[in-house]
Amino acid sequence: MTLMPLPRSTFLLVLNLALALIVGAIGFGVGFVQGELAQNVLLFTVITVAVLFWLANYVAVAFENRRVPAAAKAGDAEADDEAVGFGSIWAANRALIIAMVLLLIAYLIITVTVPMFRTIGNLIAFLVLEAILVFAFKVSGVFVHGRSAFIGLIVLIALIVISAFTIDGFLSAANIKAVLLFAAFLGIACVGQTLVALLGGLDLSIPFVIGTANIGLLYLIGLGVPSWLGFAAVIIIGGLIGFLNGVLSYRLQGQALIVTLGTGFAVAGLVQIVTSIGSQFSGNVFGTVPSWLSNLAAMNGSTFGLSVPPTILLWLLLSIVVVIALRYSAYGRYIYALGGNRRSAMLIGISEFKYWVLAYLISGAFAALTGALLLGWSGGGFIGVGDQYLFTTLAAVVIGGTSLAGGYGGYGFTVIGVLVLQVLSSFLIGIGLKYEWQQFIFGLLILPMVALYSRSPHIRAQV
């Protein structure tokens, strides 16, 4: 990669320049409105434009490099039938135009009917949404690989911009810390789900393992087991549950979803029976969480004096390790090989059973780790603590763009998905929506996100 990357396509170059200039101009205007010193404003504007331009180019080149041959071919084909006029524009951008018009109509209807809706923030949000649509449909078409990650990043940036405008204190240190902390919990739980999805499976036992680890750890501590030993034991037990999942679902890969649901159900029931014996609080476990565990995951935790909960750093470290391992280690490559084409992978001597079981084992262990960390965060055991992770782990993987059919995607994508989900959730809380509405909106948002990049081919194309 060169020091000053420039994308091959002039369109992208112009677009990046325009983007940088627009953001620079906004900063310029805002600076003068706030009454800063003129030279400061100028300096910052120039720096912003330069850095943004460089970053945008860097991103564009990173995604563009791989698609050159395909694009060249497409360009040749397009040159032949280049017709002008409204008809061809409509034909080429039908979906985009329909979507944009629908959004416009929705915005106008709400604006006309609800007086409280008429604010600058909402106007900006509307414009940003329209821009996302344009980006998602036009720009992402240029990329063959990593389209989902690109769209995810755009959505993430747009969400942050909208939230920063509409919610007071969204960019405050406390809020960023909270978003990152919850993202870390979700992200750690998603490690296994990503690996399993890369192999073409699904693990729905994650929420139950989280809940199990949560009350199980507190129960062990209550029994007088040293807390570090309990912590390790819980993770090992989680791994064992994952191992069981893998072995049971190996021959039933089509039904892995149901098998893991069954094991999850059974495990959660079993642990609750064990912890309830000799206790008058059915299902709930009470006890004291050791201070090192609370420090590990609570909002006011600190790492080596920094006031950042260690969980966030743990997640960061874990992300780097997992991304590198998936990309460069034999284990990672074999997972992609198996997910992409099981038969050819087995023919070159990769043991499908081994990797399938290992992926589930990792999934169980990380789910248990999440449960243990959540105990440190909440300070009390509760079996239902993992319930929301049943679908959010899946949603993060899917939104990030890892294919559920296997073989395509990666943990980097999942990290983007996790961040999108958490920022969105924080935004929805910020504008005062209740949990129910959030769930509703999450549900409705998953479909268009997935529809943008992981549509399966028509049956005609498969015959």
Contact residues for other proteins, defined by CB under 8 A: 202, 248, 251-252, 254-255, 257-259, 261-270, 272-273, 276-277, 280, 282-283, 391, 394-395, 398, 404-405, 434-444, 446-447, 450-451, 454-460, 462-463
Q: Is the Cβ of residue 105 or residue 447 nearer to other proteins in the bound state?
A: 447
Q: Provide the minimum distance between the beta carbon of 192 and other proteins in the complex, in angstroms, as a whole number.
A: 17
Closest CB 358 distance from other proteins, rounded Å: 20
Provide, rounded to whole angstroms, the least separation between the CB of residue 455 and other proteins.
4
What is the rounded distance in angstroms from the CA atom of residue 224 to the CA atom of residue 240? 23
Closest-CA residue to 426 (of 75, 195, 162, 221):
162
Closest CA to 257 of 268, 270, 267, 245: 245
Q: Pick the closer one to other proteins by CB: 90 or 265.
A: 265
Whether 190 and 414 have beta carbons less than 8 Å apart is answered as yes
Cα distance between residue 247 and residue 235, in whole Å: 18
Nearest-angstrom CA–CA distance, 320 and 332: 13
Map tokens 């992208």 to a residue.
Answer: 12
Minimal distance, residue 385 CB to other proteins, in Å: 15
Shortest CB 99 distance to other proteins, Å: 12
What single string gives the DSSP state of each residue in 314-372? HHHHHHHHHHHHHHHSHHHHHHHHHHH-HHHHHHTT--HHHHHHHHHHHHHHHHHHHHH
Q: Please, what is the minimum distance in Å from the beta carbon of residue 270 to other proteins? A: 5
Nearer to other proteins, 61 or 100 (CB): 100
Q: 157 or 405: whose CB is closer to other proteins? A: 405
Q: 215, 233, 196, 451: which is closest to 338 by C-alpha? A: 196
Closer residue to other proteins in complex, CB, 10/282: 282
Q: What is the number of other CB atoms lying within 10 angstroms of the CB of residue 104? A: 13
Q: Residue 4: how many CB atoms within 10 A of its CB?
A: 8
- The pair of structure tokens assigned to 330 is 């034999």
When the beta carbons of 34 and 280 are compared against other proteins, the nearer one is 280
Residue type, 161: V
Cβ-based nearer residue to other proteins, 136 or 293? 136
Q: What is the DSSP string of 231-285?
A: HHHHHHHHHHHHHHHHHHHHTTGGGHHHHHHHHHHHHHHHHHHHHHTT-SSSS-B
Residue 327 Cβ vs other proteins, minimum distance, rounded to whole Å: 25
- What is the DSSP annotation of 160-220? HHHHHHHSTTTTSHHHHHHHHHHHHHHHHHHHHHHHHHHTT---TTHHHHHHHHHHHHHHH
Hey, what's the torsion of the CAs at 336, 339, 344, 349, to 10 degrees? Answer: 70
**Min dist. Cβ of residue 424 to other proteins (A):** 13
Task: Name the residue nearer to other proteins (CB basis): 251 or 343.
Answer: 251
Helices in 65-146 by DSSP H: which ranges? 68-80, 86-92, 94-113, 120-134
Q: Which is nearer to other proteins, 38 or 444 (CB)?
A: 444
CB of 20 to other proteins, least distance (A): 35
> Which CB atom, from 29 or from 443, has the smaller least distance to other proteins?
443
We find the least distance from the C-beta atom of residue 316 to other proteins, in angstroms, to be 28
Helix axes 147-166, 38-64, angle to 10 degrees: 150
**263 closest CA partner among 277, 243, 285:** 243
Choice between 45 and 193, CB closer to other proteins: 193
Selection from 410, 415, 412 nearest residue 396 by Cα: 415
Q: How far is the CB of 16 from other proteins (least distance, A)?
A: 31
**Nearer to other proteins among residue 57 and residue 249 (C-beta):** 249
Contact status, residue 390 vs residue 207, Cβ threshold 8 Å: yes
In the complex, minimum distance from the CB of residue 23 to other proteins, in angstroms, rounded to a whole number: 33
With contact defined as beta carbons under 8 Å apart, do 23 and 49 qualify?
Answer: yes
